[in-house]
A and B are shown apart, each in its own frame.
Chain A
Amino acid sequence: MNNSYYIQSYSHIRKNHISLNGATLYSDTEDDFSDFIKAGYKHLNTEYSKFFKMDQLSKLAFLAADILLKDEPEKNVALVLSNQAASLDTDRKHQESIKEYPSPAVFVYTLPNICLGEISIKHQLYSENGFFVFEKFNAEALHVYANSLIDEQKAEKVLCGWVNFDDGKYDAFLYVVAKKGTFVHSIAEINRLY
């Protein structure tokens, strides 16, 4: 196992704050996630009209990833995301809609890994990707998987982390693992940054 990789950068979206490497990029006091994430999207000049069609989990993952990838020239960036609630929030919306007229636009988001596709389309990534569902944030699993992808030359860099959305509650922590960077890529460091 090669442990000489680094965390190049990291982002958080939680408690009405959007931050990059610990520095706040946007914050407000909106109670509603939809209003907050839309305001954050506009503030960050993201300019991707498909954003408004996404479900809440994808909006969360997309924006947290976009902060890290918007100036990233490397395209062989694998995506390894995880959460606890899978796509449950959207699953409930779909369950509600099928009582009358099911919405195709809701149905297509009834899998958590759809958010990986949204990120890949925007940043034109044709890379490895995986989405895991854990009881809680699992730095050990992410650490092993990211190291393995780079060790096996499946990717030059790996965008990893946690994107959880359920019933209005949200938490995103994403980071890029690379061969060069600021922080040592270790389980302790991942947990500290989380």
Chain B
Amino acid sequence: MSELKLELKEKIIEQLNLEDIAIEEIADTDPLFGEGLGLDSIDALELIVMLDKDYGIKLADPKQGRTIFESIDSMAAYIEEHRSR
């Protein structure tokens, strides 16, 4: 699980172009949106694409993203449970 969390942090920084943020600055429980990393709605769509492309997870309802993308912890837990690759 900790490997997956590290992988997610790397992917988020790279794919969402968070040039000013280092991996060690993202805590597993930090909110990804709003006060935390400050991600926006386009970033949310990118994360949905990432779940499909990298882990074979298709979100039928984009509103699910609200809980899944709360933090690195919640993302990793969802991916572990639902991944097909």
**A interface with B by C-beta (< 8 Å):** 38, 49, 52-53, 100-105, 108
Contacts and interface: CB of A to CB of B under 8 A. Distances in A.
Contacts, number: 30
B20 A101 contact: no
Contacts of A105: 16-17, 42-43, 45-46
Interface of B: 16-20, 38, 42-43, 45-46, 49, 52-53
Nearest to A53: B17
B45 A53 contact: no
B46 A103 contact: yes
Contacts of B43: 105
Contact of A52 (B18, B42, B45, B49): B18
A104 B49 contact: yes
Interface class of chain A by DSSP: helix
Contacts of B53: 100-101
The 9 closest A-B CB pairs, nearest first, are: A104-B45, A52-B19, A52-B17, A101-B53, A53-B17, A49-B20, A101-B49, A104-B42, A105-B46
